[in-house]
Chains A and B, each alone.
Chain A
Amino acid sequence: MFSFFAVFFLAALSTLVHAKSSNGNSVLIIAADAQRDEFSTFFADLKEEGYELSFREPKADKPALVEYDVPAFSHVVILASESKIFAKDITPQSLVELVSGGTNLLLGLSQKQTPLSSLAAEFSLILPPPGTPLLSFFPERKEAPSLIPITPPASSHILSADLGPVWFSGIPIALGNNPLLFPILPAPAESFGGDLNSGADALVDASEKTGEGLWAGSSVSVAAGFQALSGARVTWLGGVDMLKDELIKKTASRGVRSGNQQFGRDITAWTFQENLVLRIDSTEHHLVNASEALESYTTNDNIVFSAHISHFNPRSGKWNPYSGIQDMQLEFTMLDPHIRIPLPPVPGSLGKYSTSFRAPDRHGVFKFVVDYKRKGWTHLQSSTTVSLVPPRHDGYPRFLSAAWPFYVGAISTSVAFFAFSAAWLAGDSREGKKAKGAKAQ
């Protein structure tokens, strides 16, 4: 008994210590051994946060990504961005399968054509031709044009508010029109993808081929996020240099410390599902002025629908009720939404969102659907099926004042029928006598 409690206590303690991500703490880092020293600060930060790091050479066989059909790691980071040859189990297909299974990925791209470049197309990223890094001659500085300090956007869910300029060296990423894809760090407005050594012909040809225009300006990104339908998150970096010690230690132009270290922390916090993680704990529905859920409602009933939503707190590792969503909607659908109304938070009751509505005058199998997808946030999806039936035979309104002429008509017909029958029978006997009398005469 005591040992059981000890084990339980230790387990509880370990979850307290290592409860950083809502998805697990095992991280596989795929990087060449020679690279490992260059990223020491990045790795140290991750360890400090409570992640268990495993390392693997791009060409090594172990540790495996998937063991016995189960993903072996919660998060996979591929820093070997220039490696052209990976081990057999690291292919674009296997990485897509990992994402479908819920594993988070942090992937670095490079100027070279690698297996990751072909994976990027699967995520609607449009990469420039090989050998065309992002260049910018502004602000004026002594560094090469391909090493650019990027000021983070003013408002971002993912990046810290006080993030300093981030040193970047790598390729620009144009984003396709996949709704799950969004920019995390846009490129500066005056930057462009180009080749300093040769002419721009290759780039112009490529841009004409894809029809996406040149890789220039703030519409392209250097870091992009992808929130998969499985809940897994994928972050693409235009170059992995920004996570290296060299650029973390490098000061930004005005003597300000560069934001690279904090940037690495911010993107791993998002990618590893620490931040912006929501879930629907429960949903309930019932009639107004009732509390029990019904399997079927009657047309035109007034129905209350409530959802309880929690937010993952990475500091405590617990799910806390969350009332911060203002733009959630409830749909009452039968093939199409018959009703789509706001589902606002209930003031005074934390984490509860509730609304009431009148069911449509249409019977069939309906669903309460909550489908909340916002860039960067976990998708919230919930669907509850109920049937909507017409009123029962005795469920209709009765004795309506508008129907009195019809009631009077029906009742008078019946009364007249009885009066007629009585008179007929009475007259019959009299007439019968008369007839007899007539015969007698």
Chain B
Amino acid sequence: MPPKPAAPPASASSAPAQSTSAVQTLWKAYNDQTSNRLKFIDSFLVFLMLSGIVQFLYCVLVTTYPYNAFLAGFSSTVGQFVLTASLRSQVNPENKNEYKEVSPERAFADFALGSIVLHFFVFNFLG
């Protein structure tokens, strides 16, 4: 962990400076240590999260009226998020020991099948 030794002097001076530097070091570490494939998954997860937040705010602030459409749209983002997150943990090389029987190909096949079933239900429910 190279960033850690740099942190203690910053904390002594001021808390905001420490937190900024912590975020920066976190971001830097993420950029440096994460493979492009995982970053690609993460960007998809961020997109899903934003989409879900927008729909939730629209439902709370504007209208709940077709409520089934809200449930379908919102649950599609949540479901897709869950499936994608599990894909991420299964293909992460650091978790190799935990998923010994699951190859990355198998993980992707599970993810794809689960997503297709999810979208089938979502569009059926969307109205």
A405 touches B80 (CB 8 A): no
Q: Which of B4-12, B15-23, B26-34, B119-127 contacts A (4 or more CB under 8 A)?
A: B119-127
A402 to B58, CA, bound (A): 10
The closest CB in chain B to the CB of A413 belongs to B76
| C-alpha spacing A413/B54, complex, angstroms | 13
List the 10 shortest-distance A-B pairs measured between CB atoms, nearest first: A406-B73, A409-B73, A403-B69, A406-B69, A403-B66, A410-B73, A405-B58, A410-B76, A413-B76, A409-B55
Q: Which residues of B sit under 8 angstroms from A421, Cβ to Cβ?
A: 108, 112, 115
21 inter-chain pairs at a CB distance below 8 angstroms, sorted by A residue, are A400-B65, A400-B66, A403-B70, A405-B55, A405-B58, A406-B66, A406-B73, A407-B73, A409-B55, A409-B73, A409-B76, A410-B119, A410-B123, A414-B123, A416-B48, A421-B108, A423-B40, A427-B36, A427-B37, A428-B104, A428-B108
Interface assignment of A118: CB less than 8 Å from any CB of chain B: no
Residue of A nearest to B72 (CB): A410
CA–CA, A402 and B54, complex, Å: 14
Check: B47 CB closer than 8 A to any chain A CB: yes
Nearest CB of B to A406, in Å = 3
Asked if B63 is at the interface of the complex by the 8 Å CB criterion, the answer is yes
Of the residues B37, B40, B55, B80, contact of A406 by C-beta under 8 Å: B55
C-alpha spacing A409/B59, complex, angstroms: 12
Residues of A176-214 contacting chain B, CB below 8 A? none
What count of chain B residues pass the 8 Å CB interface test? 34
Q: Does any Cβ of B come within 8 Å of A398's Cβ?
A: yes
Interface assignment of B51: CB less than 8 Å from any CB of chain A: yes
Main SS of the interface on chain B?
A: helix
- Answer whether residue A431 sits at the interface, using C-beta atoms and an 8 A cutoff: yes
Q: How long is the Cα–Cα vector from A134 to B66 in the complex, in angstroms?
A: 74
For chain A residues 381-430, which have a beta carbon within 8 Å of chain B?
396, 398, 400, 402-403, 405-410, 412-414, 416-417, 420-421, 423-425, 427-428
Give bound CA distance, A199 to B80, whole Å.
100
Shortest CB distance A407–B (Å): 7
A424 and B73 contacting across the interface, CB-CB below 8 Å: no
Chain B residues contacting A408 (CB-CB under 8 Å) are 73
Given A400-B69, A424-B108, A427-B37, also A409-B77 (CB < 8 A):
yes
> Which B residues, 80 to 94, have Cβ-Cβ distances below 8 Å to chain A?
80, 84
**In the complex, what residue of chain A is closest to B126 when comparing beta carbons?**
A410
Which residues of A, 319-363, contact B by the 8 Å Cβ criterion?
none
- Least distance between B38 CB and chain A CB atoms (Å): 11
Q: With a CB–CB cut-off of 8 A, which chain A residues contact B63?
A: 402
B99 interface residue (CB < 8 Å to A): no
Please report the C-alpha to C-alpha distance between residue A423 and residue B112 in the assembled complex, in whole angstroms: 13
Question: For the complex, what is the distance from the CA of A413 to the CA of B37, rounded to whole Å?
Answer: 19
**In the bound complex, CA of A347 to CA of B77 (Å):** 59
Residues from chain B with Cβ under 8 Å of A416 in the complex? 44, 47-48, 80
Q: How far is the CA of A116 from the CA of B84 in the complex (A)?
A: 91
**CB–CB A409/B54 < 8 A:** yes
Q: If A402-B66, A416-B44 touch, does A409 touch B127 (CB 8 Å cutoff)?
A: no
A178 to chain B, nearest CB (A): 52
- A420 to B42, alpha carbons, bound, how many Å? 11
Contact, CB under 8 Å: B40 / A424: yes
